[in-house]
Amino acid sequence: MTPPSKLALVPFLSVEGMMKLVLSRGIERVLRELAEAIEEDFRRWPAFDKTPRIASHSPVGVIELMPTSDGALYGFKYVNGHPKNMKEGLQTVTAFGLLAEVATGYPVLLSEMTILTALRTAATSAMAARALAPKNPRAMAIIGNGAQAEFQALAFKAICGIEEVRLYDIDPAATRKCARNLATSGLTLTQCTSAEEAILGAQILTTVTADKQYATILTDNMVGAGVHINAVGGDCPGKTELHRDILTRSSIFVEYPPQTRVEGEIQQLDPDHPVTELWQVLSGAAPGRTDPRQITLFDSVGFAIEDFSALRYVHGAIQGTGLAQMLDMIADPDDPRDLYGMLLRAGAKAAA
């Protein structure tokens, strides 16, 4: 039996490999490059197949598939969201993804996406803020200091020039953890004891909490004119972070309306409430911020094209690095019509 051909061996980037890639390039560089890859694909949005993620909900969480294709490459991500996991010492979100050639259907990359999802979410947030936030923002609040918080802080530093981050979480230990991890980042860090304190002086307000419930992390009276809200935590039916009245005062920008109207903050609004798709702003087809006193809101739920961009970026970044393991995933018989014969020959070889 001949060894598998190169086409039958699929590069696999493990968690260890992903960490080595990020550390070797530097996390801020990776975040900037991811933002560039995501923006590049948003600018060619019409080229992609688009569908809301395919979700399987349970009382304790959700498991989802997120597919898309640009006609040349196909990608999907498997991801879960289980807020209860944190109390059990498990990750709230885990993920892996695959990138394949449309022409053959053969995979060209299998990758962990737990770390990569955190990176692409932060990169997308900062990319959106670069287009929507007030000019030259210097301070941001991060309400919810769990697994995503450090990535958000570093992305806004690298992409938007943020210098100060004001941290708050209902669990003070999470805030201390976040501040400790960012201690050498060059950011000025302020640990706050309430959401109200955290937003003082901040031009960008990020909410990234995990509880699967209708919540009011920001009340209407907390949000003044001229800020940008980066709403990250509300990402499934029945899970929100902002008071409805904030939404009615804001200019709302979304990834893909058919998905966001079900999963995002705007699930609280009428189905025909006007929103602007972010790709339209990035491609110049629609305006972003038009007034210094305007409240802009990026109602971020995560969309498959962002994961496609992240996988495309990683596929390019690992070339020549030796970071990927080669997996024998594709059956490769000598004769494509003789799959059973391949099995027989393997049995004969094992018996010899």
Closest residue by Cα to residue 204 from 274, 131, 313:
131
Question: In Å, what is the CA distance from 148 to each residue of 37, 185, 218?
Answer: 20, 16, 18
Question: In Å, what is the CA distance from 146 to each residue of 27, 42, 152, 179, 329?
Answer: 18, 28, 11, 11, 35
- Count the neighbouring beta carbons within 10 Å of the beta carbon of residue 47: 12
Question: Which of the following is catalytic: 235, 299, 307, 332?
Answer: 235
E strands along 44-182, which residues? 54-58, 61-69, 73-81, 95-101, 107-112, 139-143, 164-168
Closest residue by Cα to residue 252 from 233, 237, 223, 231:
231
Reading the block at residue 230, the tokens are: 């980066």
Asked if 185 and 153 count as a contact pair (C-beta separation under 8 A), the reply is yes
Active site annotation includes 270: no
**Residues across the chain:** 352
Angle between helical axes of 149-160 and 27-42 (0-180°, round to 10):
80
Locate tokens 């094992």: which residue?
A: 350
| Residues ≥6 apart with Cβ < 8 Å to 43 | 279, 282, 283
Please state the φ and ψ torsions of residue 67, each to the nearest 5 degrees.
-105, 155
Angle, CA of 298, 30 and 228, to the nearest 5°: 20
Q: Which residues are catalytic?
A: 235
